[in-house]
Amino acid sequence: MTAAKEPSVSVLLDPNWAAGSLVEDVRRGLSQHPRTLPPKWLYDNRGSELFDEITRLPEYYPFNAEHAILTEHADEIVTASGATTLVELGSGTSEKTRLLLDAFVSSGQLTRFAPVDVSEQTLRDAADQIAHRYPGLEVAAVVGDFTLHLAHLPKGGRRMVAFLGGTIGNLYLEERRAFLGALADLLEPGDSLLLGTDLVKSADRLIAAYNDGAGVTDEFIRNSLVVLNRELGADFDPGAFSYIPFWDPHMERMDMRLRSEAPQRVTISGADMVLDLSVGEEIRVEISTKFRVSKIASELEQAGFGVTRVWTDPDNEFALTLATKP
């Protein structure tokens, strides 16, 4: 038996990253209307644990739908990609990715796996587990931000970049354009992107997925205020807000907000900000855009990718698109 190699971990986020970049995000986002926070700040250790719990909720169908596609089609995806390196952006626990890794290992073509995430402890734990499960595979984890650090991704060999879970839907249109364009620019001809996207469906099904009966999603979204209190010395009272998830049919996205239940003054000392929130005022913490297959293809093509193949689950809830750099 081959002995497992320890994973390497490169840390691209500087130790003050949270404080520095969070200050800018908070100043910009909380001065807008609606007031907005970028969703990457949801994933401190507690946030990553809560997301993991969300994936096991009966209402949260995207995880199971994408899992079903990978169970059925991982072999075809692996063959179509021809990849020798798998890069995974926003990898979290890489749980579903194991279906791809199993198929890659059976094909004998993969030599390297590079998971990338801002959530350092979750990434380190996942990299350790994967290195032990797949001895012989080089695991090169990167603690980094996929909106900032794409240029530092591992080079060489044929690469497939997996961006699963529908996380691209958490970016605004302009951010998606910038992200997909930057990714297409740095990939080599023949490299590919495997993109997971949640599809437009009935508002009832969507709202249930983001308003679960156990209140886990509420706690996940509310945890953003706990992060601001800890990282920036803010004095948000998370209990003074209610969680408001709604479907925006015009933008075709879920919109997850926290609504102030009383007039309140919040001081964010680390950002030199004082917020006077009136009753009913909302902070948008996350969006989750849902796609139609035609929209995915046009965004990918505009960025410079060619769509190779699209797979959906039997209920047409979720799509996985393999797009190639020509």
In the list ligand AVI, ligand SAH, none, the entry touching 119 (Cβ below 5 to 8 angstroms by class) is ligand SAH
Stretch that binds ligand SAH, among 112-120, 207-215, 229-237, 261-269 (CB under 6 A): 112-120
Q: Which of 81, 119, 122, 170 binds ligand AVI (CB under 6 A)?
A: 170
HSE of 187, CA atoms in CB hemisphere, 13 A = 29
Using CB under 6 A as the binding rule, whether residue 167 contacts ligand AVI is answered as yes
Query: How many residues appear in the chain?
Result: 326
> Using CB under 6 A as the criterion, what x/- string covers residues 13-52 for binding ligand SAH?
---------------------------x--x----x--x-
Give the x/- contact pattern for ligand AVI in 272-291, rule: CB under 6 A. Answer: --------------x-x---
Q: Are 227 and 258 in contact, with CB atoms under 8 Å apart?
A: no
CB atoms within 10 A of CB 192: 25
How far apart, in whole angstroms, are the C-alpha atoms of residue 16 and residue 304?
34
Residue 212 binds which of ligand AVI, ligand SAH, none (CB < 5-8 A, kind-dependent): none
What part of residues 208-267 is at the interface with ligand SAH (CB under 6 A)? none
For position 166 contacting ligand AVI by CB under 6 A, the verdict is: yes
User: According to the binding rule CB under 6 A, does residue 94 interact with ligand AVI?
Assistant: no
- What the block records as the tokens of 7 is 């994973």
- Pattern 297-326, binding to ligand SAH, x per CB under 6 A? ------------------------------
Pick one of ligand SAH, ligand AVI, none as the site partner of residue 117 (Cβ within 5 to 8 A by kind). Answer: ligand SAH
Among 119, 217, 260, 324, binds ligand SAH (CB under 6 A): 119
**Which of ligand SAH, ligand AVI, none interacts with 43 (beta carbon under 5 to 8 A by kind)?**
ligand SAH
Mapped onto helix, strand or coil, the DSSP state of residue 229 is helix
Q: How many helices (H) and strands (E) does the chain have?
A: 9, 14
Hey, which residues between 50 and 79 contact ligand AVI (CB under 6 A)?
54, 62
Number of other residues whose CB lies within 10 A of the CB of residue 53 = 15
Nearest-CA neighbor of 118 among 44, 182, 202, 195?
Answer: 44
Angle between helix 97-107 and 120-133 (nearest 10): 30
Please, which residues bridge with residue 8 across strands?
140
192 binds ligand SAH (CB under 6 A): no
Q: In whole angstroms, what separates CA 248 from the centre of its chain?
A: 20
d(CA 285, CA 215): 16
Answer yes or no whether residue 118 interacts with ligand SAH by CB under 6 A.
Answer: yes
Strands 112-117 and 138-143: parallel
Point out which span in 160-168, 197-205, 234-242, 254-262 binds ligand SAH (CB under 6 A).
Answer: 160-168
Q: In the set 44, 49, 117, 255, which binds ligand SAH (CB under 6 A)?
A: 117
Report the C-alpha gap between 286 and 267 in whole angstroms. 22
Handedness of CA 162, 168, 171, 175 (dihedral sign): positive
**Residue 224 binds: one of ligand AVI, ligand SAH, none (C-beta under 5 to 8 A by kind):** none
Phi, psi of 8 (to 5 degrees): -90, 150
What sign does the dihedral 16-20-25-30 (CA atoms) show?
Answer: positive
Asked if 165 is part of the footprint of ligand SAH (rule: CB under 6 A), the reply reads yes
Q: Which residues bind ligand SAH (CB under 6 A)?
A: 40, 43, 48, 51, 55, 90-92, 96, 116-119, 145-147, 164-165, 167
Q: Which residues bind ligand AVI (CB under 6 A)?
A: 54, 62, 165-167, 169-170, 210, 217, 220, 286, 288
